[in-house]
Amino acid sequence: MITRLVEGVGAAVIRVVERFGSFAEVAVRGTWTLFTPPFRPRLILQQLEFVGVQSLSIVLISGFFTGGVFALQAAYGFGLFGAETLTGSTVTLSLSRSLGPVFCSLMVTGRAGSAMAAEIGTMKVTEQIDALESMAVDPVEYLVSPRVIAGAIMVPVLSALYTGIGMIGAYMVSVPYMGIDGGAFLDRIAWYADPEDLHWGLIKASVYGWLLAAVGCWKGLSVRGGAQGVGQATTEAVVVSSVAILVLDYFFTDILMKLGLLT
């Protein structure tokens, strides 16, 4: 009984370690091969376009409404003790530190991370990955590295836009709609917001962008079976990336605060 349990736990641990090992292999080699020839500017541009430009509309729409709804809630809360003008600075701080990078990464995971898993998974089940290998091309170098670099570059850009448009949304809700004084609203933002926040937010977004692309590619490359396997990999890519981003963001924030880099 006990030995059974130990065996079961042991096997589970080995599975987790193996899984993580295969992810680490894809992620590390996918990043490392960016710095060794052949360089593939055309594929990288394609992915920058795919991750960045094509995510623009959902990022802008969701950013605007995130800022808006947050302003609604904050204005109500601060209104209870007459501090409505703090709404703008609160929304700005939250968006630039955490909400921008995290929400934006989650949106890009749903749009681009899932598509990466589906596309690479389909290539796997139709033997296109084997074909790459048979022509002495490393699939990780050819498929993964353009995607991870595109994630690491474009998600911070999108995150900055998300934060910016979120602030516009917050302004629109607070000032014209709820009648908070516009001058004071902007004044408080300038008072509290720190460029340092934005800068750490961008670094986090870059890490999450890299992560969601690496997870999407890894899930795609590990597809087994046919169409069903592709569907499953796509779902798993979204779930794993989303959970990982949320967990990572917690620890990131905690560590930055402990180090005194964020106040």
Partner 1 sequence: MSTSPFDPQDAAIVFDGVTKAFGAHKVLQGLDLVVPKGKCTVIIGRSGTGKSVTLKHAMGLIQPDAGRVTVLGKELGRLKREELQRLRLRFGMVFQNAALFDSLSVYENVAFPLREHEKLTEAETLSRVEAVLAQVGLSFAIQKMPSELSGGMRKRVGLARAIIHTPDILLYDEPTTGLDPILTAQIDELIAATQQNHPAMASVVVSHDMKGAFMVADYIYMLHQGKVVAQGPPEHFKTTDDPLVRQFVEGRLDGPIGVE
For Cα atoms 30, 34, 36, give the angle at the middle one, nearest 5 degrees: 115
CA distance 86 to 84: 5
CA distance 130 to 123: 9
Among 2, 5, 135, 259, binds partner 1 (CB under 8 A): 135
Judged by CB under 8 A, does residue 38 bind partner 1? Answer: yes
Judged by CB under 8 A, does residue 138 bind partner 1? Answer: yes
Judged by CB under 8 A, does residue 130 bind partner 1? Answer: yes
Judged by CB under 8 A, does residue 137 bind partner 1? Answer: yes
The amino acid at 136: A
174-194: buried (b, 16+ CB within 10 Å) or exposed (e) per residue? bbeeeebeeeebbebbeeebe
Among 14, 16, 45, 131, binds partner 1 (CB under 8 A): 131
Tell me, by CB under 8 A, how many residues bind partner 1.
13
Among 136, 251, 258, 259, binds partner 1 (CB under 8 A): 136
The amino acid at 133: E
Instruction: Please name the residue that has the structure tokens 């989303």.
Output: 242
Encoding tokens for residue 45? 């541009």
Judged by CB under 8 A, does residue 80 bind partner 1? Answer: no
Which region, judged by CB under 8 A, interacts with partner 1, from 122-130, 164-172, 197-205, 215-223? 122-130
Which region, judged by CB under 8 A, interacts with partner 1, from 73-81, 98-106, 109-117, 128-136? 128-136
Judged by CB under 8 A, does residue 25 bind partner 1? Answer: no
Among 3, 36, 134, 263, binds partner 1 (CB under 8 A): 134
Evaluate whether 70 touches 170 at the Cβ level (below 8 Å). yes
Which region, judged by CB under 8 A, interacts with partner 1, from 14-22, 62-70, 120-128, 166-174? 120-128
Output the DSSP codes for 60-86: HHHHHHHHHHHHHHHHHHHHTTT-GGG
User: x/- contact string, 167-196, with partner 1 (CB under 8 A)?
Assistant: ------------------------------
H or E segment at 23?
helix 2-32
Backbone angles phi, psi at 254, to 5 degrees: -60, -45
Considering beta carbons, is residue 87 or 234 the nearer one to partner 1?
A: 234
Output the DSSP codes for 217-243: HHHHHT--SSHHHHHHHHHHHHHHHHH
Q: How far is the CB of 124 from partner 1 (least distance, A)?
A: 11
Q: How far is the CB of 38 from partner 1 (least distance, A)?
A: 8
Judged by CB under 8 A, does residue 126 bind partner 1? Answer: yes
Residues that bind partner 1 (CB under 8 A): 38, 123, 126-128, 130-131, 133-138
